[in-house]
Structure 1
């Protein structure tokens, strides 16, 4: 059984691509993902499962490290919640995206860093401890910053309640992570055993979210996908470049610089999709940027990890 889960984890990117292909030919395959289970959005439940898995890998030390490396963490969090939202807004304006796609793109920019950044940082031989700390801190403060920044960027033109978004982020993000932390603290052996399975479970959950969103919006995506896909690729590439530049100007070593860049480019796209569906129900296409960003960041991330890893090895940069 463990071998199957390890295979799923190993070939995660291929499974994502297969999910996209299946959805394009059979859009109703994942229709149930867009529904409810016992009155709760299925996407929210899947996302909660992913974040619970993240929680089981965290320890109090991850948050203590913030005070040991204040400059690096401050630079990472500042770029996460200042540069990424503004970058999303600028791209939406430049490419004249419609209201729904603009909201979706801004949500991609205002959510915290995704857990995939830790995996890519590890593969790229970056600073894993810094990556985990940044992911943890940006996620914990997201209930406060994500609603506020989203409100500032979209203004009063679109009906949306930041207080309700705050509550939903607490429910979707903080509660599962706190439960995972508790399990890791109280039952460390059980948490260690879960690590054999949860990465694969999280991978499947992300694929289901992608399949559900793409299937529900297939027709609209087929007519606008080239524009939004180009914007998403630009958002990802620019985030990576800006992360490297900001880190370099801050005097960081290369390992820390690529960590900041990866953390900046890898967003919790599942959360942005969930928030779009929950808080902007009349803007169906608002869920699309998050789903497409998830596909792209995981595909491109695997390639970038290989490039960064070779660069670090060839130049022996610590």
Structure 2
């Protein structure tokens, strides 16, 4: 078990670099992963099943105990990121599948990576997890609804397909995971150290598949514009998420302290881009370009999140040293 824990820590520490290397490998040798296109739904299901295995009744009770902060954080996520996506599509004159892909990743729930980044920055991890749970549970309703409102100008939105796929890919695995946790309880703890490894390997597999499927178009003139758009999307999410939490701290200072501001910053700015990839490949299968923004987002937000969490922790350490 010690070896598993050591490997998990190593994988988490170097995950961003591994993501980049794996993406490059699949871009150069697409045959490695191209055959896995039809399995992306199962892979993201594995990630969310693992998430469900780690959840207990206490995690859901926490949402009920502090509903105001969790609801406000979730609303901020589902308002800020979709609207930033629409604004960037307008500013950069994006259209068609690429615009739909940018808006799709903007409509996704917050990513599980935000929990790690919040922990590394010494943010309120409990609040981070609670917002992540609620935003994920709402995804089957929020994603198709927001896409219909915001992206129908570019293509016809398959609302029913998005709803059914999100329901199957998101809620079913989480529900099964929670049920297993309740049934087996202590036995689940024996496999808990392995879950982060399985989740990260599944995310790597998804990234490899999308890069392989789109390798001919990934860095074409039509898709290169998605790179700065995705970077701005993520960075603006951090900025507006932090700004929103600062405003809330003036209104409700006892609830939105410094640690909570960090959590909301990551919860707003980091998306479940793996889910975005899966929904793009299932509900927009005729337009694989739709999956490219989510793919770029998967790579970029791990880089930016690692940098921001490290800077935040070092900034706090320097500030504490000055006051000693």
TM-score using structure 2 length = 0.91
Partners of 2:64 and 2:195 in 1: CA distance:
29
- Answer yes or no: is the 8 Å Cα contact 1:6–1:196 preserved in 2: no
| Structure 2 unaligned blocks of 5 or more | 250-255
Instruction: Select which of 72, 75, 80 maps to 1:75.
Output: 72
SS of residue in 1 equivalent to 2:217: helix
8 Å Cα contact 1:120-1:262 kept in structure 2: yes
2:258 paired residue number: 254
Contact preservation (8 Å) 2:210, 2:292: yes
Residue in 2 aligned with 1:194?
191
In structure 1, runs of 5+ residues without a counterpart are 35-40
Query: Where do 1:52-131 residues align within 5 Å?
Result: 52-131=49-128
Question: What TM-score do the two structures reach when normalised by structure 1?
Answer: 0.93
Structure 1 range deviating more: 137-146 or 211-220 = 211-220
Partner of 1:148: 145
Instruction: Choose from 275, 278, 281 the match for 1:274.
Output: 278
Correspondence for 1:7 = 10
3-state SS of 1:114 partner: coil
What is the aligned partner in structure 2 of residue 291 from structure 1? 295
Cα deviation for residue 157 of structure 1 reads: 4.9
How far off is 1:165 after superposition?
Answer: 1.4
Displacement after TM superposition at 1:315 (Å): 3.6
Counterpart-to-counterpart distance in 1, 2:133 and 2:71: 13
Aligned length: 311
1:160 — aligned with what? 157
Aligned to 2:253: none
Could you report, residue by residue, the CA deviation over 1:241-283 in whole angstroms, capped at 9, with x for unpaired residues? 0001000001121111111010011100011111111111221
Match of 2:252 in 1: none
What is the aligned counterpart of 1:237 among 216, 235, 238?
Answer: 235
- RMSD between superposed Cα atoms in Å: 1.7
Q: How far apart are 1:5 and its partner, in Å?
A: 4.4
Q: Supply the distance in 2 between the matched residues of 1:209 and 1:130 (Cα, whole angstroms).
A: 28
Residue 208 (structure 1) aligns with: 205
